Amino acid sequence: YVYFFSSKENKETFMKNPIKYIRQPKPKPAVPVKIAIVGPPKSGKTTVAKKFASVYGLLRLSMGDAIRLVLDNQPESELALMLKWHLHKGLTVPDELAIQALDVALMNHVCNTTGVVIDGYPVTRKQVNLLESARIIPAKIFELEMDAKEVFRRALLDNESTNRPPYPEHDSSQILAIKNSCYKQHIDAIRTYYKKEHQNWCVIDAFRSKWWIWNKVLQEVQVVVKEIQIYLERIRQGKAAGIADLCITPEELQYRLGEFGQYCPVSLAEKGELVDCSVTSSLQFAAEFRGHYYKMASQEELDKFLSRPEVYVPPLAPYPLPLPDMLPKKLTAAEVKALFPTSAEMLGYCPVTYLDGKQRYEALVPGNIEYAAKYQDKLYIFESEEKLLKFMRLPKKYWNLKLPRKLPPKKEPILLTALPLAGYLEQAIATSLIKALNEVGCLKPKFPFLSVKKTALLFVACHLKGHNARSSAAVRQAYQRKLGRFVEHCQLLPYLGAAMAGPYQEPRHRPLGFDTRLRAFLSLK
């Protein structure tokens, strides 16, 4: 064999010990990576894209680049003629033609050997649909997130820069405002679509430095490339492989699901548990084996499946998945009501709480219709979501229980007015009564010529009337004014007691208002 080296030093090192370098593991196959970068104007999309192009040799493609490539390399093609027709009339190139130009540009040998960075595309929901129809799916889409204030700040710095090109640029504040507004209008729908369909969306904080952004994007791309390389290598060797970063759509997943559907085969084989993984659309714990997809409950189960997949799938799997009509199904409160007149099993008591409580009397807890399930045409309701999930995992363990003869008394509603006096006071006016008693205890009023007990009773009565939430505002205000006058009269005793403590004083030497309060006091008799 003939071997080539990058330098003379490497050649001499090889000559000293060639066996060491010949026997090393072969490098993983090169994977052409396809990524896209989107973001508001001035967020640094082109800077990152150009960095990938210069450092790793990827082809940077904006939509303008793709159109120019078609016009320059295939000027007589039908696509180029249609593009020229629109451009010569001063029109914007339609999205349909732009996608065709991008598709042609992606046939470049660099895209198929090294990879491509799509700069600033897609920016509308229609463009996403056209990319999907052309089967152009980036392995990772990076959104550089930044607010409008930072957009205009960076634009101002660019205007003051001395490195501006000699030709005018479309970066006035008005144009940037329009571009930013259009971007914000569509980006939420685009983000939602890719997160749901391909799980290949990654948000990057564009406020950080360009070096931090570059390192973050590079790390994410390296992870994706490594995952793809591992997937290709393991599939080639006939092993199971993770499918987390392969942009698999929910439709494709559903079409290629294995014998266990979205239930975890490892949990079923080792614990006999039916763990439904359809509650999350994430493929983080999913794998492919023999052309079928399987979803696992956690990283631990995924590692076990990847190491020995054949023991968890037929024919070596110890338990098959039950038939669809034998699987438990969660029900909403509305679905439970729609099943009327079907009644819940165990008279509505939670079977999980009862069995886990060792079938004791205290473990008979009524269920809540918010947490319900149907199993073998029978309805079960549970105390909490935790108990519902436990039943969904092990329905055979809990489904066929028998209730004891002695059951807790039924909790039927009782009319408030049917309660005894103490119970009525506790349930109806306890809070108001406590507030009134607290105030009378702090104030300790004494009405002239009345006993302390009668004064306290009158104060409490006025306080309850003045703070009765069921009375009208006018009635409450009237009693509050009455309570205020009652308190003023109660304050006459301590005032007169203090003012009349000394010897007799002539009227002209008495405190101001003394005579008025004395007459008020005597009138209350």
The pLDDT tens digits of the residues spanning 404-413 come to 888 888 777 7
Q: Between the CA of residue 319 and those of 272, 311, 316, what are the distances in Å?
A: 8, 11, 9
Percent of the chain with pLDDT over 90: 59
pLDDT tens digits for 301-339?
A: 999 999 999 999 998 999 899 888 889 999 999 999 888
With beta carbons less than 8 A apart as the criterion, state whether 119 and 61 touch: yes
378 contacts: CB under 8 Å, gap ≥ 6? 345, 399
243 contacts: CB under 8 Å, gap ≥ 6? 231, 283, 286, 287, 288, 293
The pLDDT score that the predictor gives to residue 168 is: 67
Looking at the domain 33-160+170-224, which fold is it?
Answer: Rossmann fold (3.40.50)
Please write down the long-range contacts of 220-224, taking CB distance under 8 Å and 24 or more positions apart.
220/140, 220/142, 221/33, 221/35, 221/140, 224/33, 224/139, 224/140
Q: What is the mean pLDDT of each run of 10 residues along the chain (525 residues)?
A: 91 94 82 91 90 90 92 91 92 92 91 90 92 92 91 82 70 84 92 91 91 93 91 91 90 91 92 90 91 93 93 90 90 89 89 92 90 92 93 91 86 80 83 91 92 94 91 93 93 88 82 87 90
Q: What are the sequence ranges of the domains in the chain?
A: 33-160+170-224, 238-321, 325-397, 419-500+511-523
With beta carbons less than 8 A apart as the criterion, state whether 37 and 45 touch: yes
Give the torsion sign (CA, 165, 168, 173, 178): negative
With beta carbons less than 8 A apart as the criterion, state whether 324 and 377 touch: no
Quick check: helix, strand or coil at residue 407? coil
Write the DSSP string, 24-62: SPPPPPP--EEEEEE-STTSSHHHHHHHHHHHH-PEEE-
Write the secondary structure of 348-365 as one string of H (helix), E (strand) and C (coil): HECHHHHHHCCCCHHHCC
Bridge partners (DSSP) listed for residue 330: 373
Peptide bond into 138 cis (omega under 30): no
The pLDDT score that the predictor gives to residue 173 is: 81
- Which candidate, 110, 261, 106, places its Cα nearest to that of 121? 106
The pLDDT score that the predictor gives to residue 307 is: 94
Strands 140-145 and 33-38: parallel
**Helical packing angle, 452-466 and 473-490, nearest 10°:** 150
H/E run at residue 8: helix 8-16
With beta carbons less than 8 A apart as the criterion, state whether 268 and 275 touch: yes
With beta carbons less than 8 A apart as the criterion, state whether 134 and 126 touch: no
CA Rg value for the chain: 40
Distance CA 62, CA 42 (A): 15
Structure tokens at 314: 């037929």
Distance CA 492, CA 128 (A): 83
Q: Cβ–Cβ contacts within 10 Å for residue 193, how many?
A: 16
Distance CA 86, CA 278 (A): 48
The pLDDT score that the predictor gives to residue 413 is: 78
Peptide bond into 122 cis (omega under 30): yes
Q: Tokens 């997937």 identify what position?
A: 231
